[in-house]
Structure 1
Amino acid sequence: MAVTDISAKELHHRINSGKSVFILDVRNPDEYNDWKIEGKNLQSVNVPYFDFLDDDEKNFKDLPRDMEIVVVCAKGGSALMVAEILDEKGYKVSYLGEGMLEWSRFYHPVTIATDENMRLIQVNRLAKGCLSYMVISQGQAMVVDPNRHIDEYTNLATKENAKILHIMDTHLHADHISGGRELADKTGATYYISSSEMQGTDVPYEPLESHNEINFGSVNVKILAIPTPGHTPGSVSFLVNDKFLLSGDTIFVGGLGRPDLGGKAREWAQSLYDTVFKKIAALSDDIVVLPTHYADIKEINENGYVGATLGEIRKSNEIMRTEDIEQFTEKVAGTVGATPPNYEEIVDINRGVIEVSSDKATELEVGPNRCAIHHG
């Protein structure tokens, strides 16, 4: 009997449905430990592909007989071979067709809010912990922080019967390639980003600092641009209808944006302090914070999206209450962690300084997001 392959969408559906899922990842341990598929009710073990060539019984000791095993590798080939070995031994088995490559390209849209005036959708690229947004009103749409697989957004706009008019990047991204400019080229929409993020480039864009608000749709959906430097100097957050803060990489559900990627950790940490205690402090506790990244699958709430009220974040996140600037700076600058791989090249691509092929872009993006810092 032929072993069946499953898609990333089908795998995610199984994980999301609450059923138990067992994954056998056959990549090498370094790759597995750095970046793997995660989720609730998901059990995952790592036995490298080469180990199965020896037909050693110890390779099978952690594998269940009473449930389906989904085999995962980098691109699908090794997983198929291992799945066939397991199938011959009587295990119930399938494999992820194009492996982690396919998982890295999988996007899952979730509606956060909808009423007669507006529909707000969070688009979750689970493999990267990347979040982007589409705000729709009266057949018009705004996209915030789109990733490079732009068909995800054009297809979603078509499904929602909306025309994309505005595309915004909250900042110059360092761990994934933005789809902002390409999406603007394809749709004819205006591409917005802070001019301080785009120095040294001739890429066409509309400077965000030139706008106090952007309105679209017959219901006058209000977007306030709030300068929130710290993660990068030109970081901007968007306050939608005085209710939803699209916070970029400035504020997360579980932490703050890392301020070290420009080599000025202490200086930028002090900017982040001003953002938290001067700009964000004026916003009420009931505003819902919707970031551009998350670092832990647990940040996906019971409604299926990553977000929390500002009040909840202030309560659970000690750094948001650390009003002493020296303590704040030490804490933020001292817990930045590993830098995103290839981030300098990715920043140059996003600034328009260099161009790369689709295959090279895929290679550069492999791995988890490292833009969030958790402070507890």
Structure 2
Amino acid sequence: MTVKNVTAKELTERVLNKEKLFILDVRNESDFSDWKVEGENFDYLNIPYFELIDGIEPIADKIPKDRDVVTICAKGGSSIFVAEQLVEEGFDNIYSLEDGMKAWSEYLYKVKVYEDEDIKVFQFVRVGKGCLSYMVVSDGEALIVDPARFTDEYVKAAEEEGAKITHIVDSHLHADHISGGTILANSTGAKYYLMKSEGAVFDFEALENYKKIEFNSVTLEVLAVKTPGHTPGSVSFFVNHKLLFSGDTIFVSGLGRPDLGNKVREWANDLYDTVHTKVAEITDEVIVLPGHYADFESEINTDGYIGDLLGNIRKRNKKMFTTPKEEFLNNVEKSASSVKPPNFEDIVAINRGVKTVDVDTMQELEIGPNRCAVHHTE
């Protein structure tokens, strides 16, 4: 018997299929409690690798023999070592997550969200980070919304649809992951749009100058709806009056946190006004497609993507849409003490264009879950 590798893609399929799986995570306890591979029918045991160097005897009676076991570490090396010990002790169906949590953090999978005679929309789920990005295809052209830095994924997806990427938009200056906007624009020649008020120093098309972005043979309205609060320049993109790409302003289960710029009260006030004016004008039938999710199991819908009708989001999060202003501001201020995205200041500096790092550093900066939501269902 030998250790079998399981890729991030294969493990994601097991999550989506709600398979039963036993996870032996050999990272430090703090890393495990902060961030792990989550599955509805997964069971877990977290034992730091250094406790198993002399053998797996202390945990042998805790490892099931009637189902698959996946060992996980940060980059794949330690988990293989532990998995090999399990195999030597006679355990079968032992797998090791190839390249560990680093690979889990970087994997994207694609799912179709919407299609009519004019457009086709895909969602890219970065399941290890809770980050969401999108591709809108119309008449041989493609628009990418909030791209991750793994730009080949979008180029490949566009080619599969017989389309060329011509437009790229970022809803705001991201704080938990590095944007692929400039990389994708440079490689494809597409126009890259961002709010000037976000303070980026590289070349881009300022969204303040556009009321809509039009495609070739079909007029595909992408209205930049200014929805400040998460950041001062946050926008949402309203496509054909049917789809709202809400960035980090509205999630399926909450709102974007407005405390990352050290102006909690001011930005919370903007967020309140956004929710009670701009969003209040949008009909319940519009499909909201957010930039992140907080809990995969509860937010993925029966069609297999993260998103919902605005009417359902209003019902699910009724309190955040009806709370009086002063109470709303106080609640946001209280939640501002929660843990901020790790390394967010460095990530913002990179996304603004004032700092440059190599790929290895990008990987290290992005490790961990997203923490962009401040207000969830109560």
TM-score, structure 1 normalization: 0.97
Once the 2 structures are TM-superposed, how far is the Cα of residue 220 of structure 1 from its aligned partner?
A: 1.5
What SS class does the counterpart of residue 221 from structure 1 fall into?
coil
The residue number in structure 2 matching 1:213 is: 212
Matched, 1:307 2:317: no
Once the 2 structures are TM-superposed, how far is the Cα of residue 2 of structure 1 from its aligned partner?
A: 2.5
The residue number in structure 1 matching 2:252 is: 253
Deviations 1:255-285 (A, max 9, x none): 1000011101111001001100111100011
Deviations 1:117-155 (A, max 9, x none): 111101000111000000001110000000111111111
User: How many angstroms apart in 1 are the aligned matches of 2:248 and 2:319?
Assistant: 15
Q: Contact 1:170–1:235 at 8 Å: present in 2 too?
A: yes
The residue number in structure 1 matching 2:228 is: 229
User: How many angstroms apart in 2 are the aligned matches of 1:41 and 1:15?
Assistant: 8
Q: 1:77 is aligned with what amino acid?
A: G
The residue number in structure 2 matching 1:179 is: 180
The residue number in structure 2 matching 1:289 is: 288
The residue number in structure 2 matching 1:328 is: 328
> Which residues of 2 match residues 56-71 of structure 1 at below 5 A?
57-71=57-71
The residue number in structure 1 matching 2:137 is: 136
Once the 2 structures are TM-superposed, how far is the Cα of residue 56 of structure 1 from its aligned partner?
A: 5.7
Q: Contact 1:24–1:72 at 8 Å: present in 2 too?
A: yes
Once the 2 structures are TM-superposed, how far is the Cα of residue 343 of structure 1 from its aligned partner?
A: 0.8
Deviations 1:175-208 (A, max 9, x none): 1000001100000000000000025x2x000000
User: How many angstroms apart in 1 are the aligned matches of 2:374 and 2:250?
Assistant: 10
What SS class does the counterpart of residue 144 from structure 2 fall into?
strand
User: How many angstroms apart in 1 are the aligned matches of 2:117 and 2:19?
Assistant: 35
Once the 2 structures are TM-superposed, how far is the Cα of residue 165 of structure 1 from its aligned partner?
A: 0.5
Size of the aligned set, in residue pairs, is: 374
Q: Contact 1:322–1:328 at 8 Å: present in 2 too?
A: no
Matched, 1:168 2:197: no
The residue number in structure 2 matching 1:346 is: 347
Q: Contact 1:26–1:72 at 8 Å: present in 2 too?
A: yes
Q: Contact 1:259–1:333 at 8 Å: present in 2 too?
A: no
Query: Aligned residues: percent identity?
Result: 52
> Which residues of 2 match residues 45-56 of structure 1 at below 5 A?
45-55=45-55
Q: 1:241 is aligned with what amino acid?
A: N
The residue number in structure 1 matching 2:83 is: 83
User: How many angstroms apart in 1 are the aligned matches of 2:339 and 2:63?
Assistant: 33
The residue number in structure 2 matching 1:10 is: 10
Change (3 A) 1:56 1:156: closer
Of stretches 226-235 and 157-166 in structure 1, the one that deviates more from structure 2 is 157-166
Deviations 1:304-353 (A, max 9, x none): 11111111111111443334110111112221311111111111100100
User: How many angstroms apart in 2 are the aligned matches of 1:23 and 1:176?
Assistant: 26
User: How many angstroms apart in 1 are the aligned matches of 2:107 and 2:291?
Assistant: 16
The residue number in structure 2 matching 1:239 is: 238
Q: 1:311 is aligned with what amino acid?
A: G
What SS class does the counterpart of residue 321 from structure 1 fall into?
helix
Q: 1:43 is aligned with what amino acid?
A: D
The residue number in structure 1 matching 2:111 is: 110
Q: Contact 1:285–1:311 at 8 Å: present in 2 too?
A: yes
State the Cα RMSD in Å.
Answer: 1.3
The residue number in structure 1 matching 2:154 is: 153
Q: 1:210 is aligned with what amino acid?
A: N
Change (3 A) 1:302 1:60: farther
TM-score, structure 2 normalization: 0.96
User: How many angstroms apart in 2 are the aligned matches of 1:285 and 1:145?
Assistant: 24
User: How many angstroms apart in 2 are the aligned matches of 1:323 and 1:207?
Assistant: 34
Once the 2 structures are TM-superposed, how far is the Cα of residue 375 of structure 1 from its aligned partner?
A: 2.8
User: How many angstroms apart in 1 are the aligned matches of 2:81 and 2:219?
Assistant: 56
User: How many angstroms apart in 2 are the aligned matches of 1:221 and 1:354?
Assistant: 35
What SS class does the counterpart of residue 251 from structure 2 fall into?
coil
Q: 2:120 is aligned with what amino acid?
A: R
Q: Contact 1:245–1:287 at 8 Å: present in 2 too?
A: yes
Q: Contact 2:253–2:299 at 8 Å: present in 1 too?
A: yes
User: How many angstroms apart in 1 are the aligned matches of 2:187 and 2:168?
Assistant: 12
Of stretches 130-139 and 34-43 in structure 1, the one that deviates more from structure 2 is 34-43
